[in-house]
Amino acid sequence: MKNTIKYVLESETDVSKIDEKDYERRRLLKRVYDTYIKGSPIIGKNKGKKLIKEQQVVLEQYLEHLLKNSKIKSPYTIFNNFHTIYLFGIDVKKPFSNLEKKDLTKYFSTIRFKIKQASFSTQQDVIKRFLIWLFDDKDCKSILFWLFYLF
């Protein structure tokens, strides 16, 4: 009930006109922003760990890109993608623009046998799409293809 009131107060929408799907989408996207971009998880092994400022700025731009230009429309997919990128950012501990091949190799070598193959492939794909967007470079695509081919 409190969430409905908050939604109505923030959006100035009549209670009878609340769209549950829209509300859930807004809630998840706010959680992405509050947890993975500006804040830190409140539970789990990464409790209290924040991304560095440079990473936060890049992820904020990436969220804006996804919301405006991406084929990804599901807030659940966006949430899961940001969770993956957040874990990657926490592990590398440097601005995304300063990433090197060794950072990617180390990260994927570390997680490769800790998770199922399907999850590993999904994480590879999410990070690959993020880095292609970040570097906006054809050379980046060939380097990433090489790296992901190794795993």
Higher pLDDT, 84 or 33: 84
pLDDT for 5 beyond 50: no
Cβ–Cβ < 8 Å for 58, 96: yes
pTM for this entry: 0.78
Q: Quick one: pLDDT at residue 148?
A: 63
Mean pLDDT computed over every residue of the chain: 80
Cβ–Cβ < 8 Å for 132, 85: no
Interval 13-42 mean pLDDT: 77
Q: At what angle do helices 75-92 and 20-31 cross, to 10 degrees?
A: 0
- Determine the Cα–Cα distance for residues 49 and 33; give it in Å rounded to an integer: 15
- Determine the Cα–Cα distance for residues 59 and 50; give it in Å rounded to an integer: 12
User: What is the chain's Cα-based Rg?
Assistant: 17
Q: Quick one: pLDDT at residue 146?
A: 64
Q: Quick one: pLDDT at residue 44?
A: 66
For residue 86, count other CB atoms closer than 10 A to its CB.
22
Higher pLDDT, 21 or 95: 95
For residue 124, count other CB atoms closer than 10 A to its CB.
19
Q: Quick one: pLDDT at residue 55?
A: 94
Please write the tens of the pLDDT for every residue from 34-86.
888 887 776 667 777 889 999 999 999 998 888 888 788 788 899 999 999 99
Interval 21-32 mean pLDDT: 83
Interval 5-34 mean pLDDT: 70
Please write the tens of the pLDDT for every residue from 105-149.
888 888 888 888 888 889 988 998 898 888 886 666 666 666 666
- Taking alpha carbons only, the member of 3, 42, 111 closest to residue 126 is 111
